[in-house]
Amino acid sequence: MRICYVYFDLIGAVYPGWEYRTSELLAELGHEVFVIPRHRCLHEGQIPLPKTADICYVSNPMCVDVGLKVKEFMKIPLVVNWLDVPKALFSEEWRIKEYERVREQAKQADYFTAISETTAKDVEEWLGEDCPEVKVNYIGVDSHLFQAFKPKEDGYLCAVTRGLAKQKQHNEIIQAVNLSKSKPPLKIIYGQYSDVQKANVMSRSLFGVGMSNLEGFAVYVVEFGYYAKPFIGKRLPVFEEIYGDNIIYVETPKEMGEKIDWLIQDEAARKKAGEALQKVVCEKRLYLSDHALRLEKILCSMLETS
């Protein structure tokens, strides 16, 4: 299979991210993958296209504009992968405007995938009755990268708030730590680390914390689970779908502060909660390599019906 793979690159970013890594895994499975970085294409005013391809896969809905150009030029089916939909009122104005552009452009796609049942349902409601069926394909931890570090405890907490969206609520995380009696050190990963550095920091944390109000999947929860690290966060529909009661749920910074103190003081509880989250990762095959295998099957089935 020859795949035009459009992904969401950030010019000057120190990390490639799971979207780009998936293209490498598809190539390792034996497919011809022609990687098309969205931002660099628009910035440089050109799109490097192969002579022939079978299908165009857009790994992030923000890249659908470039995907449509590929579809039109090469006359091949277009698949758009959905990460989330900004349905909450607290989304920034610029984000809402971007998704309005995406909504109109996505209607010209042939097929859709999504990274969770929750996201798929939101997309179908958001796009309306003309929306085709959305195939669900969970993402996961890049175990090839993360296995390079053995889990240990260096006494600090870790939060991942990568991105500009306000719903990550990093201020509430800081507030929660300040409200705790133990006041442990906190390391926030917001995009300043490479993927290798991120894995190193997460592997040495006591546990993960987050106060996001909206997630399409939250791969960082899987990454904490890979290392058997517990995670404290708000109760979100996608968390209940994927992780069930294996996340320590809180609603306020005060509650989080209390749970932080509890996990720090109770080593047995910390170990039990971490192992429970790790079990979810194992049983649901929340690994990026499995995501690529599932994507391979989905794209093949779409080509058969196109």
What does the pLDDT read at residue 101? Answer: 87
Give the dihedral sign, CA 183/281/27/75: negative
pLDDT given for residue 13 in this prediction: 62
Hey, how many other C-beta atoms are within 10 angstroms of the C-beta on 178?
11
- Name which of 159, 147, 161, 276 is nearest 199 in CA terms: 147
The CATH superfamily label for domain 143-283 reads Glycogen Phosphorylase B; (3.40.50.2000)
Predicted pLDDT of residue 161: 83
Return the pLDDT at 41. Answer: 81
Residue 213: its pLDDT value, please? 85
Tens digits of per-residue pLDDT, 290-302?
Answer: 999 999 999 999 9
Mean pLDDT of the chain: 91
Query: Cα separation of 140 and 115, whole Å?
Result: 10
pLDDT above 60 (res 164): no
Judged against a pLDDT cut of 80, whether residue 200 lies above it is answered with yes
Taking the CA atoms of the chain, what radius of gyration do you get in angstroms?
20
The answer to whether residue 88 scores a pLDDT higher than 70 is no
Same fold yes or no, 2-140+287-305 and 143-283: yes
Q: Is the pLDDT of residue 91 over 80?
A: no
Evaluate if residue 85 carries a pLDDT over 80.
Answer: no
Q: Residue 38: is its pLDDT beyond 80?
A: yes
Whose tokens are 């390792």? That residue is 28
Total-model pTM? 0.92
Give the pLDDT of residue 40: 81
Mean local confidence (pLDDT), 182-209: 92
Q: Are 75 and 100 in contact (CB under 8 A)?
A: no
Residue 89 has pLDDT above 50, yes or no: no
Question: Does position 62 have pLDDT exceeding 70, yes or no?
Answer: yes
Q: Residues 113-152: pLDDT tens digits?
A: 999 999 999 999 888 877 888 999 999 999 999 999 999 9
What's the per-residue H, E or C state across 66-120? HHHHHHHHHCCCEEEEECCCCCCCCCCHHHHHHHHHHHHHHCCCCEEEECCHHHH
What is 2-140+287-305's CATH number?
3.40.50.2000
Give the model's pLDDT for residue 170. 84
Domain ranges of the chain: 2-140+287-305, 143-283
